[in-house]
Amino acid sequence: MAEIRLERVRKTFGRVVAVKDVDLTIADGEFLVLLGPSGCGKTTTLRCIAGLERADTGRIFIGGRNVTELPPARRGIAMVFQSYAVFPHMTVAQNIGFGLRMRHIAKREIRAAVQEAAELLQIDELLDRYPAQLSGGQRQRVAVARAIVMKPEVLLMDEPLSNLDALLRLQMRAELKRLHREIGTTTVYVTHDQVEALSLGDRIAVMREGAVVQLDHPNTVYDRPATTFVAGFIGTPPMNFLRATVNASGDDLALAVGDFTVPLPPAWKPSLRTMVGKLVVVGIRAENIGVHADATPGSLPATVLVSEPLGAQQLLTVQVGKDVLKVTTAPEPLLQAGQTVGLTLIKEKLRLFDEESGKALSIGAGPPAQGERR
């Protein structure tokens, strides 16, 4: 068992609180992604798990053992860094087997383990080469192979793909996902790239200012963000926001966006009755907005500011009153800047947030978002 458990872990650097009393449990064999912008505390959290940083307060458990005071070598972890950190004077085989040699493992066992790890990473034909003879993607595979050959209880990865170009990142994401499926090691992966997080993680822990603000399955984080921060951070483009007022007409509820009214699903009535007359923030994804070439009756009038052809679709930047939205639509017909269009919002895909706190309002069907855990 290699469950990881953090209990109120806190880490400061002078007056800066890098990690704020984080409680986090990572299941045995899980692939958890720590996601957030630069400076949010995700790498510091990872380094506390690794033992490279000592937590000021709190406890860390790996496989049921309290490792809070243990050095990295005794925690049963292996780490892959952003910089590949491969030894330039050693061959690929020597790099992969370095940790095993430090443990004084028999040469025959090292050769077998190195061959097995190299085959898993599909670099077994490169074992006699030196790092200078490898591409960036190949060097990253060497770094991963060197980590997994140690048979660690936990694999920690700190932005391992950030130095690769877009195509290599795409290929390596698939390789890492396949590798995790084959070896099943508990993995904690740090990234600021939300595409990596959505594609790789069994769960995503979104961090902000040292705290976990949402911990959930990738689809839930994307579709039901816990806060406007998460909604605006996840997605390409990120979620759109509009200011609206909750209005009532008899038994029916609607959102008033300027002079435009969006009827709300009947299932939302019980949750929103107390919000009548109040301002809310309305969130909706670009793909959940329909676009009509003319501002037809019943549609929300908007003006095209920018049209970006992207092959399979076009990305529009449109203005609705004082708000600017991103909308995706079919590649044809190509819309032009200055053109007036009509927008229709998929009611069931609207997400409502409290105007002051930015927290999601619990409405409608579906599991509630799991917010900050402390």
Least confident of 38-52, 64-78, 271-285: 271-285
Domain ranges across the chain: 4-232, 233-354
Round to whole Å and give the CA distance between 240 and 36: 19
The domains spanning 4-232 and 233-354 adopt the same CATH topology: no
DSSP state of 235: T
Distances (CA, A) of 87 to 78, 96, 129: 17, 10, 12
Mean pLDDT of 183-191: 94
Residue range 202-254, pLDDT digits in tens: 999 999 999 999 999 999 999 999 999 999 999 889 999 999 999 987 778 88
In which band, very low, low, confident or very high, does the pLDDT at 372 lie, cut at 50, 70 and 90? very low
Rounded Cα–Cα distance for residues 29 and 3 (Å): 8
pLDDT at 293 over 90: no
- pLDDT at position 1, please? 60
Please report the pLDDT score of residue 110 as a whole number.
94
Q: What is the dihedral of CA 245, 270, 346, 198, to 10 degrees?
A: 100
pLDDT of residue 47: 96
Residue for token digits 């508990």? 186
Alpha-carbon distance 48 to 68, whole Å? Answer: 8
Q: What is the pLDDT confidence band of residue 287, given thresholds at 50, 70 and 90?
A: very high
The pair of structure tokens assigned to 295 is: 């501002």
pLDDT at residue 374 tops 50: no
Cα distances from 50 to residues 36, 150, 162, 207, 250, in angstroms, run 19, 15, 20, 18, 59
Q: Percentage of the chain surpassing pLDDT 90?
A: 66
Q: Give the CATH class of 233-354.
A: mainly beta
Domain 4-232 has CATH 3.40.50.300: yes
Q: Which residues pair with 284 in a beta bridge?
A: 240
